[in-house]
């Protein structure tokens, strides 16, 4: 069994995998990482290895602490990958984006795939049918857009995410919901259409914390999977363990 540790900006996601199946998943604060790993190891004694992916802040002390419990593999720019990376600044490609591309290979190898991760940022990552990663785009996510309107203006309130009632907002709150949510929906649908003009047989995957909220409102046909990044990290660990 494998333990997947995905360190984000706000929380840490932990997932226990038995081969390719998730047996347990939980979200914890950064400060509770070590005790959570210890607890999972007691509950699942057959866990032997862990992979750590970090886009947030993770200290060497935390890495060493996990390594005292399990054999740890840390994903970085030098990790052996099952695809050709044609990103010009490959050293700066985020671990989360690498994991998503790997997950697409496990399920859709030798296909044109666009992976959209809707979280704090919206990332677009494209890998072609030759298993070549070409790059993508990075855009502000839902909550980032709501917070920006509140932080960078004097009078606009910070709202919870909500599906707009109409394209025409008849109040400040409804105008914000329309602008933020419809703006993102039009962006995602537009990006997908641009890719489809170039790659007719395109597979589109939507994942991330806002995937369920957005997938029900998008016009485009997509494959939604909230666990896609975790699956990708597990695949990377397997790939580097010669399984």
**Which is catalytic among the residues 29, 68, 71, 96?**
96
DSSP 92: G
Instruction: Find out whether 8 is annotated in a ligand binding site.
Output: yes
Measured between alpha carbons, how far apart are the two ends of the chain, in Å? 12
Instruction: Find out whether 135 is annotated in a ligand binding site.
Output: no
Instruction: Find out whether 165 is annotated in a ligand binding site.
Output: no
Instruction: Find out whether 79 is annotated in a ligand binding site.
Output: no
Q: What secondary structure, in 3-state letters, does 187-206 show?
A: HHHHHHHHHHHHCCCEEEEE
Instruction: Find out whether 95 is annotated in a ligand binding site.
Output: yes
Instruction: Find out whether 87 is annotated in a ligand binding site.
Output: yes
Contact 121, 141 (CB under 8 A): yes
Instruction: Find out whether 56 is annotated in a ligand binding site.
Output: no
Instruction: Find out whether 13 is annotated in a ligand binding site.
Output: yes
| DSSP sequence for 41-62 | HHH-TT--EEEEEESS---HHH
Instruction: Find out whether 94 is annotated in a ligand binding site.
Output: yes
Give exposure, 210-242, as e/b (b: 16+ Cβ within 10 Å).
bbebbbeebebebbbbeebbbbbbbbbbbbbee
DSSP 19: T
Distance, CA of 66 to CA of 239 (rounded, Å)? 21
Instruction: Find out whether 10 is annotated in a ligand binding site.
Output: yes
Contact 3, 234 (CB under 8 A): no
Instruction: Find out whether 172 is annotated in a ligand binding site.
Output: yes
71 is catalytic: no
Count Cα atoms within 13 angstroms, Cβ side, for 13: 22
Instruction: Find out whether 11 is annotated in a ligand binding site.
Output: yes
Contact 122, 139 (CB under 8 A): yes
Distance, CA of 233 to CA of 237 (rounded, Å)? 6
Residues annotated as part of the active site: 96
The annotation places the binding site for substrate at 87, 94-97, 172
The binding site for K(+) comprises 117
Known binding positions for ATP: 6-13, 120
Residues making up the binding site: 6-13, 87, 94-97, 117, 120, 172
């Amino acid at each position: 069994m494998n333990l997947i540790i995905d360190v984000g900006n706000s929380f840490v996601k932990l997932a226990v995998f038995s081969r390719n199946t998730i047996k347990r998943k939980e979200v914890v604060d950064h400060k509770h990482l070590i005790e959570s790993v210890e607890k999972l190891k007691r509950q699942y004694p057959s866990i032997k290895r862990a992979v750590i992916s970090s886009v947030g802040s993770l200290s060497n002390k935390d890495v060493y602490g996990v390594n005292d419990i399990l054999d740890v593999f840390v994903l970085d720019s030098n990790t052996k990958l099952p695809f050709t990376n044609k990103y010009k600044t490959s050293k700066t490609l985020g671990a989360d984006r690498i994991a998503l591309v790997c997950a697409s290979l496990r399920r859709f190898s030798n296909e044109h795939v666009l992976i959209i991760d809707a979280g704090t940022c919206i990332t677009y990552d494209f890998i072609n049918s030759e298993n070549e990663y070409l790059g993508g785009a990075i855009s502000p996510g839902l909550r980032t857009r709501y917070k920006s309107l509140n932080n960078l203006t004097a009078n606009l309130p910070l709202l919870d995410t909500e599906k707009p009632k109409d394209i025409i907002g008849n109040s400040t709150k409804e105008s914000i919901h329309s602008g933020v949510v419809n703006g993102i929906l039009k962006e995602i649908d537009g990006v997908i259409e641009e890719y489809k003009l170039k790659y007719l047989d395109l597979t589109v995957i939507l994942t991330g914390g806002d995937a369920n909220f957005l997938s029900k409102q998008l016009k485009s046909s997509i494959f939604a999977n909230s666990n896609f990044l975790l699956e990708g990290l597990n695949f990377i660990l397997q790939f580097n363990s010669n399984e």
